[in-house]
Amino acid sequence: MNFTRRLTLTSLITLGALSFAPASFAQEQTDFKVAWSIYVGWMPWGYAADAGIVDKWADKYGISIEVTQFNDYVESLNQYTAGGYDAVTVTNMDALSIPAAGGVDTTAVIVGDFSDGNDAVFLKGEAELTDIEGRDVYLVEYSVSHYLLARALDSVGLSERDVKVINTADPDMVGAFQTPDVTAMVTWNPMVSEIAALPDAKKLFDSSQISGEIIDLMVANTDVVKANPDFGKALAGIWYETAALMTSDTAEGAAARAAMGAASGTDQAGFEGQMAATKLFADPSEAVAFTSSDDLGATMDLVRSFLFDKGLLTPGATSPDAIGIELPDGTVLGDAANTKFRFDNTYMQMAADGAL
């Protein structure tokens, strides 16, 4: 199963060597391109395209939306950042560190879900989290697993200086954990479920303990969505119709979950297990409340500080303030003159108001 949503910045050196020029101010258009990659919270976009829901909402607004699946998450962000796509599925951390850091003004149009247990820290044996000190910790470096480790360490008064991170490819995780030398690992589902079933594995921290910090989004080029509000409306309509269907206790909902499971390399039961560890915002009013909360600003402050500490915010950044992050109330974290990442409740609120 390809969960490359999590291979966030492994190729950052390559990406950073590229020069992404911000797009010129967008004009009105009728044809739009959306990129997505496989992850439980993003499967609705592929399903919606296959089921005709994308075309339904595009037709309503007299536009065309082409939805393309990428097997390589980083490449989808690369293509979006280079201007090849108008919108892309991305985590909050990567939206800041890749397109925004690359100079592309980017707006979170849909806050779709957050990880609520899909990501976890494991040690072997009868260990406590503090026993991680001095160990080699196997994870995908610079991914949300790396961020989760930092938050886990902080929760027990430790820091990354107290461990050694060993960069490990996600397909190797389960096998590596079964070798004698590997005693600490951070990973995500479906590997979390597989590792948790091993006799020596003890899950000591997961993303439910940093609730709301690892967020999955549909973002769009800010200039494009400003010039074409019907595109934003269509994206909202697509998401909420599909999310309502996939969370419904109906035969149609079960069929949708089965189809999404099959498309992501599992079955209905496996997909539903992943959904159980995901807080999916099928209700737009919930998404608006989440995005409007003061907690979002606190989360993004943690995220930008993590990226700055790792040297991943922007080349030459001297503080976490290098890039401005605009919250729904207009507050800007960081440099307001260089605002490149925005959370906008406009289209989610329209869905909540029945105004799409």
Q: What is the pLDDT of residues 148-186, one digit of tens each?
A: 999 999 999 999 999 999 999 878 899 999 999 999 999
Same domain? For 185 and 80 the reply is: no
Q: How many domains does the chain have?
A: 2
Regarding whether 153 and 100 lie in a shared domain, the answer is: no
pLDDT tens digit sequence for 275-331: 999 999 999 999 999 999 999 999 999 999 999 998 888 878 999 999 999 999 999
- 200 and 220 inside one domain: no
State the CB neighbour count (10 A cutoff) for residue 279: 21
Q: Rounded distance, CA 106 to CA 103, Å?
A: 9
Q: What is the pLDDT of residue 6?
A: 52
User: Domain end: 156, 183, 210, which one?
Assistant: 210
Asked if 125 and 204 sit in the same domain, the reply is yes
HSE (CB half, 13 Å, CA atoms) of 347?
26
151 in the same domain as 295: no
Total count of residues recorded for the chain: 356
Q: Which of 274, 243, 264, 298 is nearest to 119 (CA)?
A: 274
Instruction: For the chain, give the longest Cα–Cα distance.
Output: 60
Q: What is the pLDDT of residue 32?
A: 98
The whole-number average pLDDT for the span 265-279 is 92
| pLDDT at residue 71 in the model | 85
Is it the case that residue 8 has pLDDT exceeding 70?
no
- For residues 97 and 50, state if they share a domain: yes
Average pLDDT over residues 18-26: 50
Residue 218 bridge partners (DSSP): 89, 110
Q: What is the DSSP string of 132-178?
A: GTT-EEEE-TTSHHHHHHHHHHHHTT--GGGSEEEE--GGGHHHHHT
Q: What is the mean pLDDT of residues 46-73?
A: 96
Residues 11 and 60 in one domain: yes
Domain coverage including residue 182: 119-210
**pLDDT over threshold 70, residue 210:** yes
- Position 18 scores a pLDDT of 44
268, 110, 241, 83: CA torsion to nearest 10: -90
Q: Which of 178, 210, 242 is the last residue of a domain?
A: 210
**50 pLDDT band (50/70/90 cuts)?**
very high
Report the distance separating Cα 231 and Cα 234, nearest Å.
5
Helix axis angle for 229-246 and 251-263, nearest 10°, is 110
Mean pLDDT, residues 213-225 taken together: 97
Q: Which of the four pLDDT bands, split at 50, 70 and 90, describes residue 229?
A: very high
**Average pLDDT score, the chain:** 91
- Residue 111: pLDDT band by 50, 70, 90 thresholds? very high
Residue whose pair of structure tokens reads 């393309």 in the numeric block: 68
pLDDT at 142: 85
Same domain, 104 and 249: yes
Q: Is the pLDDT of residue 109 over 60?
A: yes
Concatenated DSSP letters for 198-256? STTEEEEEEGGGGTTSSEEEEEEEHHHHHH-HHHHHHHHHHHHHHHHHHTSSSHHHHHH
Clarify whether residues 97 and 233 are in a common domain.
Answer: yes
Domain boundary among 210, 244, 266: 210
Please indicate, yes or no, whether residues 68 and 204 belong to a single structural domain of this protein: no
Query: For position 17, what pLDDT does the model report?
Result: 38
Q: Would the pLDDT of 2 be above 80?
A: no
pLDDT value at residue 234: 98
* 185 and 234 housed in the same domain: no
Q: What is the DSSP letter of 313?
A: S
Q: Is the pLDDT of residue 223 over 60?
A: yes
Stretch 340-353: mean pLDDT, rounded? 98
Same domain, 73 and 218: yes
With pLDDT > 90 as the criterion, what percentage of the chain qualifies?
A: 79
Contact yes or no for 344/328 (Cβ under 8 A): yes
pLDDT of residue 25: 63
Q: What CATH number should be reported for the domain holding residue 128?
A: 3.40.190.10
